[in-house]
Structure 1
Amino acid sequence: MMSEEQQEQLMRKRKGDGKRFEEEEERLDIVDLSGMSMDSLPRPCLNLTSICKLNLSNNNLQSIPESLTARLLNVVVLDVHSNQLKRLPNSIGCLSKLKTLNVSGNLLQSLPKTIENCRSLEELNANFNILTNLPESIGFDLIHMKKLSVNSNKLVFLPRSITHLTYLRVLDARLNCLRALPEDLENLINLQVLNVSQNFQYLESLPYSIGLLVSLVELDVSYNKIATLPDSIGCMKRLQKLSVEGNPLVSPPAEVFEQGLHAVKEYLGEKMNAGHRSPPKKKSWVGKLVKYGTFNAGHVMRGGSEHGEREGFIISEFRSIEGLASPRYTGMFSARRLFSPSR
């Protein structure tokens, strides 16, 4: 419960005097209850549907009532960072206009699946929690997301659906337990900053698709267990910053990194091109048949040899398939003739 002093602070924050307090509440759009050491929320005495921004950060809140969240129908910004929250209310899915959600610095182990209904969400900050996973289909519904920050958690994998966040510009997943990144990262066509550093002994490789992030400017993969960078990074024309320290890198070698980012991209580009060179043409199966004397109907003289050794089958001029199928040539391709031993 709130003390009398906290009640007075609340009154001042709402910028009302004793006589006009209720009138002020009716047209209130922004409510700031941050830093008031609240253990629980006061009983709302204002029209919750009029709030567009609610700040409950830096308190001691352990829960948010379902009934309160369900009535914040017009809230655009909700900030509850630095509390003691162990869960978010399922009714958060009612916030269809919510664009910014800050739940960092709490004790959240998961996010409610209903968060997928916040289809206007553009920025989600869930840093410094104990998240072990994200909703599996989060990327299918939150299609307007521009910034996703989930650093300093216990995430093992990122859901594959995040590759559908085509408006995403910043993805911060450092300081987790990531063992791999999703494939198909090339779908994140607007991603500019990707930070998956400090997953330490867990992250050992990067997907090839990471080099196909056409808008990426900054890539931080430092302090992982990566030995080889994908050759596709050589294609990243807009990349300006690459951080790889703290990895047991073998390719590219250290002397290449000492020459700067341009040298790294050039090295990887040349390596990729070398790997995509056309393989040598396979010898024709006809040649094998000739070698083993399967085609033995014709004779060619070697350098005017008197012995007339057989080298291969020859048709001196072009003939249509109809012509070759005539009685004159049918016997030439019979199974008995083709596979009979050489005489």
Structure 2
Amino acid sequence: MMYEQQQQQQQQVRMAMGLSDKGDHRRRCMEEERLEIVDLSAMSLDSLPNPSLNLATICKLDLSNNNLESIPESLTARLLNLLVFDVHSNQLKFLPNSIGCLSKLKILNVSGNLLQTLPKTIENCRSLEELNANFNKLTMLPDTIGFELINLKKLSVNSNKLIFLPQSVTHLTSLRVLDARLNCLGSLPEDLENLINLEVLNVSQNFQYLENLPYSVGLLVSLVELDVSYNKITSLPDSIGCLKKLQKLCVEGNPMVSPPMEVFEQSLHAVKEYLSEKMNAGHKSPQKKKYSWVGKLVKYGTFNGRMMRGGAHREREGFIMSEYRSIDGVASPRYMGMFSPRRLFSPRTFFSR
């Protein structure tokens, strides 16, 4: 009986991979039909067969719910037209570096494995729109993951051991959903305002690690849902009062002081109004002097503001660069906006009390 079950399983695998006892004839037929989907899910596979099938004809490969501990480099290198790759719920400890060859890949599901890292080559999957790496053992993401995945719309890395998100994540301008709950995050990257399409941000249940949110959270112009529940946050940034599209805000499980809990009990509108008033109050200062934006650079020490006149130094609202030095890479897209007035006059300095 056991032998018959094994034979039946092997036959199912061979058929799914485009093989049969008739061999060459079957392969020719499948190639003519342009096989597009291969489903080898839930077959208790410990390893993959080595098919003669043209892997370039596959657009979706489902290897989920098996016992796979590795994926051959040679396999992924030949899946040139793969759009969906699902390997969730296996025993994978690493992904092959050749995954970077999947230039057309749109959806990658590696959740429910034993991954501690993702290969750096994943940034070559420039068509990727959805990455699901939930329920692994990730301690970090590749530092440069955000620089090349310009089409990524959903990044799910919940239930891992991440202690931080790389700064490059702020370059994912197409991102709509960022789910990083149930990790060990101690902080979030600055410059989140670059995520102009982000609609859902979930960093809940980082428990004793996450104590503060960056001011830039309140500059996420498309944000609809923000979940920061079950952390150690005592106050929300005043800038959250500017989130016009925000419809859902979850803060339970935090030792919240500002806004006070009685404000939260009223409504989201009351919370936003409280934070807006607090922010506006912080803007007011007696005998406020008008400065040009160049003058502000001088005021906050960005430039020394000294100009030579008649051999003497005189402080002015302007500057002369006595010596020019090129800054390599400033024109690179990674550094766009580094010297913008908004960056230089961040509310952490200009609007502090």
How high is the TM-score relative to the length of structure 2? Answer: 0.77
SS in 1 for 2:108: strand
Partner of 2:338: none
Partner of 1:333: none
Question: 1:128-175 deviations in whole A, cap 9, x for unaligned?
Answer: 000000000100011110000000000000000010110000000000
Does the CA contact (< 8 Å) of 1:16 and 1:24 recur in 2? no
Which of 21, 24, 43 is the matching residue for 2:26? Answer: 21
Work out whether 1:114 is the aligned partner of 2:121. yes
Partner of 2:6: 3
Partner of 1:178: 185
Which of 67, 70, 74 is the matching residue for 1:67? Answer: 74
- Equivalent position amino acid for 2:26 in 1: F
- Equivalent position amino acid for 1:211 in 2: G
Does the CA contact (< 8 Å) of 1:25 and 1:47 recur in 2? no
Does the CA contact (< 8 Å) of 2:181 and 2:204 recur in 1? yes
Partner of 1:92: 99
SS in 1 for 2:262: helix
Partner of 2:41: 34
Does the CA contact (< 8 Å) of 1:140 and 1:165 recur in 2? yes
Q: Per-residue deviation at 1:24?
A: 4.0
| Whole-Å separation in 2 of the counterparts to 1:38 and 1:115 | 25
CA separation of 1:16 and 1:39: change in aligned 2, threshold 3 A:
closer
Partner of 1:102: 109
| Whole-Å separation in 2 of the counterparts to 1:136 and 1:279 | 44
Question: 1:154-202 deviations in whole A, cap 9, x for unaligned?
Answer: 0000000010110000000000000000000000000000000000000
- Equivalent position amino acid for 1:83 in 2: N
Q: Per-residue deviation at 1:22?
A: 2.1
CA separation of 1:110 and 1:16: change in aligned 2, threshold 3 A:
closer
Does the CA contact (< 8 Å) of 2:106 and 2:128 recur in 1? yes
Question: 1:201-228 deviations in whole A, cap 9, x for unaligned?
Answer: 0000000000000000000000000000
CA separation of 1:24 and 1:7: change in aligned 2, threshold 3 A:
farther
Partner of 1:82: 89
Does the CA contact (< 8 Å) of 1:222 and 1:247 recur in 2? yes
Does the CA contact (< 8 Å) of 2:17 and 2:53 recur in 1? no
- Equivalent position amino acid for 2:212 in 1: S
SS in 2 for 1:233: helix
| Whole-Å separation in 2 of the counterparts to 1:63 and 1:17 | 25
- Equivalent position amino acid for 1:79 in 2: D
- Equivalent position amino acid for 1:7 in 2: Q
Q: Which runs of 5+ in 2 are unaligned?
A: 290-353
| Whole-Å separation in 2 of the counterparts to 1:24 and 1:128 | 40
Q: Per-residue deviation at 1:231?
A: 0.3
SS in 2 for 1:194: strand
How many residues align structurally? 281
| Whole-Å separation in 2 of the counterparts to 1:14 and 1:137 | 35
Q: Per-residue deviation at 1:6?
A: 1.2
Q: Per-residue deviation at 1:14?
A: 6.2
Query: Residues 1-343 of structure 1: matches in 2 within 5 Å?
Result: 3-11=6-14, 13=16, 21-26=26-31, 27-281=34-288
CA separation of 1:163 and 1:142: change in aligned 2, threshold 3 A:
same
SS in 1 for 2:38: strand
Q: Per-residue deviation at 1:7?
A: 1.6
Q: Per-residue deviation at 1:45?
A: 2.2
| Whole-Å separation in 2 of the counterparts to 1:125 and 1:279 | 51
| Whole-Å separation in 2 of the counterparts to 1:281 and 1:32 | 68
- Equivalent position amino acid for 1:127 in 2: N
Does the CA contact (< 8 Å) of 1:205 and 1:228 recur in 2? yes
SS in 1 for 2:249: strand
Q: CA RMSD in A?
A: 1.7
| Whole-Å separation in 1 of the counterparts to 2:187 and 2:51 | 45
Q: Per-residue deviation at 1:262?
A: 0.4
Structure having the higher Rg: 1
Q: Percent of pairs identical after alignment?
A: 78
Q: Per-residue deviation at 1:4?
A: 1.4
Q: Per-residue deviation at 1:29?
A: 1.1
SS in 2 for 1:171: strand
- Equivalent position amino acid for 2:164 in 1: F
